[in-house]
Amino acid sequence: MSAVDYHSDVTRHVLWSIFGVLSAASITGYFLSISAKSERAKATVANLNSRTKSWWVMVIVLLCALAFDQKGSALIFGIISFLAFREYITATPTRRADHLSLFVCFFLILPFQYWLVYDTWYGMFAIMIPVYAFVLIPVLTVLAGDTTEFLARNARTQWGLMVCVYSISHIPMLETLDVKNLKMGNAGLILFLVAVIQGSDVLQYIWGKLMGKHPIAPTLSPKKTIEGFVGGTISACLLGVIMHRLTPFNMWQAFVISFALCCLGFFGGLIMSAIKRERGIKDWGTLIEGHGGMMDRIDSLCFSAPFFFHVVRYFFTS
């Protein structure tokens, strides 16, 4: 598939909208920082401004990825998977006997998964990690002869590969699909997915700050509220409807698919919060100012990307 056409009218309108929103957020944050009086207000504004700065960086990285075909996207998302998997492994307990399997995961399995995206080999892409890596990891671990928490150790590694590598690799794989009459090319599918999921996260945060009173999962993520979830999900679904021209969906299809994406993204974030609670950490890392680590940013995409890819592949390809 060809790279996104940055000279088309639709692409220019999308870029103007994205950078217009970010510019408005930056300007608003500047004036709020001047007018904030209380320490609590200053802290909230500082958090919002750091998030806005981070969004500038993340948007530019995403647009750079979309400037290329699946080969460039595979490289950039491969780096994202590497960073996320590193954070995940750092936060989970391992033993010396795991070193060989982890080396293979980082430097053989992960690159090979993204080479399959590069090569557009869907058959092997779909089963390489769930089947072959699933078998290979415990084989390598058992050679070390350490049976301490053997099942738990291997399950953690296998699960990390599925979430950080296999799931995320479905995003650049969207560029390999044969979908007709896309206004922005296949890159528009990636932009739709990321905008709806990340938009849902931001909008849930905003609605939660404005109206949130009832925690939806107080023991796992007390800042997530019912009001924030409902308001953010509905708003993100409307965003999906607005962006439906980038996809093969009609308006109702865009709304329904966006709703499913928001629900999967919400539970993805909740599940990763449960793991952080169990490990006693607040964030997966400190890579992105105001957002924690890479894993903190892609947790919602981990659960929604495979669903979106297969909906498009099975129902909207030629």
| Residues ≥6 apart with Cβ < 8 Å to 302 | 163, 164, 167, 168, 268, 272
Question: For residue 131, is pLDDT > 70?
Answer: yes
Query: What integer pLDDT is reported at residue 168 of this predicted model?
Result: 96
Average pLDDT over residues 224-247: 90
pLDDT in tens, 182-192: 878 888 899 89
Confidence bin at 267 (pLDDT 50/70/90): very high
Query: What integer pLDDT is reported at residue 288 of this predicted model?
Result: 63
Question: For residue 2, is pLDDT > 60?
Answer: no
Query: What integer pLDDT is reported at residue 43 of this predicted model?
Result: 75
Query: What integer pLDDT is reported at residue 25 of this predicted model?
Result: 75
Query: What integer pLDDT is reported at residue 290 of this predicted model?
Result: 55
Average pLDDT over residues 197-219: 82
pTM of the model: 0.88
Query: What integer pLDDT is reported at residue 221 of this predicted model?
Result: 77
Confidence bin at 128 (pLDDT 50/70/90): very high
Q: How high is the mean pLDDT of the chain?
A: 86
Question: For residue 212, is pLDDT > 90?
Answer: no
Question: For residue 218, is pLDDT > 60?
Answer: yes
Confidence bin at 35 (pLDDT 50/70/90): confident
Q: Where are the domains of the chain?
A: 72-176
Label each residue of the chain as H, E or C: CCCCCCCCHHHHHHHHHHHHHHHHHHHHHHHHHHHCCCHHHHHHHHHHHHHHHHHHHHHHHHHHHHCCCHHHHHHHHHHHHHHHHHHHHHHCCCCHHHHHHHHHHHHHHHHHHHHHHHHCCHHHHHHHHHHHHHHHHHHHHHCCCCCCCHHHHHHHHHHHHHHHHHHHHHHHHHHHCCCCCCCCCCHHHHHHHHHHHHHHHHHHHHHHHHHCCCECCCCCCCCCEHHHHHHHHHHHHHHHHHCHHHCCCCHHHHHHHHHHHHHHHHHHHHHHHHHHHHHCCCCCCCCECCCECHHHHHHHHHHHHHHHHHHHHHHCCC
pLDDT in tens, 67-105: 766 778 898 899 999 999 999 999 888 999 999 999 999
Using CA atoms, how far residue 96 sits from 51, 229, 265, 283, in Å, is 37, 42, 34, 25
Query: What integer pLDDT is reported at residue 289 of this predicted model?
Result: 58
Average pLDDT over residues 247-263: 95
Question: For residue 5, is pLDDT > 60?
Answer: no
Question: For residue 39, is pLDDT > 70?
Answer: yes
